[in-house]
Amino acid sequence: MWPTEPDSFESLVAAPADAERDDALYFAYLGEEILCISERGIPRPVTRDEFRWLDVEVSWRTFLGRWEGRPCFALAASGNVPEGFARVGLRAWLGRVDPAFFYLAGRAKQIVDWHRDHRYCGRCGTETVDHGTDRAKECPRCGMVSYPRLSPSIIVLVRRGDEMLLARNANWPTGMFSTLAGFVEPGESIEQTVHREVEEEVGIAITNLRYLGSQSWPFPNSLMLGFHADYAGGDIVCQDDEIAEAHWFHYARPPNTPGGTAISGWLIQAFIDEMTAAAE
């Protein structure tokens, strides 16, 4: 089953009257790191009650919604973290928390990053204010409204019979392979982006695109649209300074690939499951 965000999170802009509860969850970001507590090796955000005792300064706070009935807030903060608490990059949560909870923490990170990047109007330079009804920043001088930024991107598994094309980014450790990905350019359709990125990164042509699903990826603000595609021709030619190596792998003998939290892992596993079922 393709993972989706469950109904346990209710997204809201305006905080309800009962939001200031002691068990409210505070997704507090100190720079790029989230303030958390580890319980039996599993990280979680601090509660409102825990946060009030910390020597941490809050520069901005916004209501996110409810997670399983509990109010959730995103905070831009700074300060010292005492013993018993930790501040870690959100990637440290990958594979250690429920995927849906990771996506919620990623939502908070993207909103905090957006707040920090849009404190001043990009048109006239005036300090912005929070919009009265939308999750947006509004310029009190020229009226420009800025919403949280999303960067659409594609990610695709190319198939050839019972083989899949996987590549290693030039910045990744040796032995780690994944699917191809890239950002949508202005004026492109999603389908055009898939064809262009595959040709640029590995030099081959593809056909028969099939959309499988999407994922929010908060590093920093991507919306990943996932595809399978069939090989149509050409030899592998890796893009300089981008792709270190790329190979065809049999579905039964995959290399080291990303885990199940990442959409690349979903795309790869979907192909393996399909081929395995066909071979039975």
pLDDT digit string, tens, across residues 117-171: 999 999 999 999 999 999 999 999 999 999 999 999 999 999 999 999 999 999 9
Domain-located, residue 128: no
DSSP state at residue 199: H
For residue 106, the enclosing domain spans 9-117
Angle made by CA atoms 36, 257, 89, in degrees to the nearest 5: 20
Domain-located, residue 1: no
The pLDDT of residue 232: 98
Examine the pLDDT at 212 and tell me if it is beyond 60. Answer: yes
Instruction: Examine the domain organization and report whether 167 and 95 are in the same domain.
Output: no
The pLDDT of residue 4: 56
Instruction: Examine the domain organization and report whether 107 and 186 are in the same domain.
Output: no
Instruction: Examine the domain organization and report whether 80 and 168 are in the same domain.
Output: no
Distance CA 268, CA 215 (A): 15
The pLDDT of residue 1: 46
What number is the average pLDDT over the span 206-213? 97
Instruction: Examine the domain organization and report whether 113 and 163 are in the same domain.
Output: no
Show the tokens assigned to 68: 């399983």
CATH number at residue 24: 3.90.79
Domain count along the chain: 2
Is pTM beyond 0.75 here?
yes
Domain-located, residue 123: no
Examine the pLDDT at 2 and tell me if it is beyond 80. Answer: no
Q: Which long-range contacts (CB under 8 A, 24 or more apart) does 140-145 make?
A: none
Beta strands 222-233 and 151-160, pairing class: parallel
- In DSSP terms, 74 is beta-bridged to 27, 62
Query: Please, which pLDDT band fits residue 100 given cuts at 50, 70 and 90?
Result: confident
Instruction: Examine the domain organization and report whether 16 and 85 are in the same domain.
Output: yes
